[in-house]
Amino acid sequence: MNETAARPNPAARAPNRRWWSGLFWKCLLSMLVACWISTGLLSLLAVYLLRQDLRTDLAPQVLEAAIQRELERVGPLPDLATLPPAQCEALLQGLLVRVVGMDTPQWMYSYSYAGGPGEGRIAIRYLDRDGRACMYPPQPGAPLAKALAQAGQQAAADGVAATRRLEREGDWISVAAVPLAATPGASLGVGQHPGGSVATFMRMTLGDVVGLAIYLIVISAMASVAVATLLTQRLRHAEQIADAWAEGDLETRIHDRGHDEFGRLAQRFDRMADALGEVIQVRQRLAVSEERNRLARDLHDTAKQRSFALGLQLSVLDHLNGRDGENGRDPRQGALIKAALGLTGQLQRDLADVIQRFSAPTVAEQGLRKALEDTYSHLLGGSGIEWRLLLDGVAERGVGEHPQHAGQLLLIATEAAANSLRHSGAKRIEVVLNSAGDRYGWTIQDDGCGFSIDEHETTGMGLGNMRMRARTLPGGRFRIASSASGTVVTVSFTLPEPQGDSA
């Protein structure tokens, strides 16, 4: 299957994005809603706590003491009911401000939310001996007006202060009335009715609501800019890396070093990309191995069998040609048959060699040592040639971390052993792997009769293939020396130093 063709195009998968679907606007909306809800809840909590303080600070006994204190300060009051209504209300307003402390910072910052005379939530009432009344504000709330009237009548009739607290569902009314000693039968009463918590909170003016809304929008926008900017930059970077992965570039990484949830997620994605790259490499190596095995099977079942059949036919032809005697055949015929048989035998040997190389296990599957042992066992088995592997532990681990380079070393060693088997008459082959720092050496040595290097460079491909494979290695160098005492093939190359100590 063509994986490139099957892979979807990232651009085609990306949905159409609208401006309001961005992370900044989602953060802004979420924070705005959260700010409104939290502000509402905190405001209700503050109202509840302040109402408890108000209940204590404006209790009926506290109001009574405040009225007595203010009367002592101002002295005897005239009959306020006989004054013009405007003048009476002005006098009562001044008394109310002093009694409840409406001119103090505490009232302005803590209790003004509960409403004042303008909302009919707090009032003062003067009642004379004839039952005439003067009140500020002129029309307080009905429950408060009723409670003030009852307390004032009781104080005027009994001649002593009358205090009462009327409990309601989630609400109360505090009232205190004192008789006026300078004006027998007259009384002065003050009362306060804060109203319910929700009703108190909802008494915000339009200006208060607009100001709060602007404040929350500004705070939400600033928080959204701070959060979304930091987060969107990291998300865009991760998105670019994801697009690169989708296009097949698994070498790139997000490299987000944050210690938050997104940083940990990005680090997990990087590890996933590492694992995916390793899986793909394993699959590629398995695919190569399967293809090599398939080619080996195809060559064995087709070309090798046909070359074997061809050799049999040529042998029969040579036998029949010999039976005809010297008089019945062309002298050139026998020479051609002998040459064809020689070529057929060489073809069979070449095919057997190719099939053996194709079907040899790979380094990625078994490791360099095991792959080399299996290859030499099959290649040199029954030949009488002794072979030995001298692989340094540190060097072997270092090469094992690069299976693609180890595969080239395996093929070089295989080619060198095949040449020794065919041409040198060697009795012993030794393969050595060692390292010094980051420089590695790979040596194949036999004790054969040697050969002419110049002649084989021009007539065969073996030396050229080994030289080419050596040059594919990092910093690879190839050298071969041959004499009557044997042949030495040396490959040197560079790899990063392996981790760990020598075994």
Within-domain flag for 96: yes
Domain span including residue 153: 58-203
Quote the tokens at residue 53: 């303080």
Sign of CA dihedral 316, 319, 324, 330: positive
DSSP secondary structure letter of residue 249:
-
Query: Residue 76 sits in a domain of what CATH number?
Result: 3.30.450
Quote the tokens at residue 59: 């209790």
**Which residues have CB under 8 Å from 212's CB, separation 6+?**
39, 204
Question: Hey, what amino acid is at 272?
Answer: M
Using alpha carbons only, how large is the chain's radius of gyration in Å? Answer: 53
Mean pLDDT of the chain: 79
Q: Is the pLDDT of residue 430 over 90?
A: yes
Residues 378-424 pLDDT 10s:
778 777 889 999 999 999 999 988 888 888 898 899 888 888 887 78
Question: Hey, what amino acid is at 305?
Answer: Q
Please say which residue of 154, 183, 203 terminates a domain: 203
Q: Provide the 10 A C-beta neighbour count for residue 307.
A: 21
0.95 exceeded by pTM: no
**Partner residues linked to 167 by β-bridges:** 172
Please say which residue of 150, 175, 203 terminates a domain: 203
| pLDDT confidence of residue 129 | 86
Within-domain flag for 15: no
Burial of 409 (0-12, 13-18, 19+ CB in 10 A): buried
Q: Provide the 10 A C-beta neighbour count for residue 177.
A: 30
What does the alpha-carbon distance between residue 148 and residue 164 come to, in Å, rounded to a whole number? 10
Please say which residue of 184, 203, 222 terminates a domain: 203
Residue whose entry in the numeric block shows the structure tokens 């924070």: 31
Within-domain flag for 284: no
Is 388 strand, coil or helix?
strand
Cα 116 to the chain's mean position, in Å?
56
Domain tally, the chain: 2
Q: What is the DSSP string of 284-312?
A: HHHHHHHHHHHHHHHHIIIIIHHHHHHHH
Within-domain flag for 305: no
Within-domain flag for 145: yes
Query: Strands across the sheet with 386-391, in order?
Result: 386-391, 428-436, 439-446, 486-494, 477-483
In this predicted model, which residue has the larger pLDDT, 207 or 496? 496
The rounded percent of the chain whose pLDDT value lies above 90 is: 16
Query: Residue 375 sits in a domain of what CATH number?
Result: 3.30.565.10
Within-domain flag for 251: no
Residues 72-127 pLDDT 10s:
888 888 888 888 888 988 999 888 888 888 877 777 766 666 667 777 888 999 99
Q: Which helix (H) or strand (E) holds 47?
A: helix 23-57
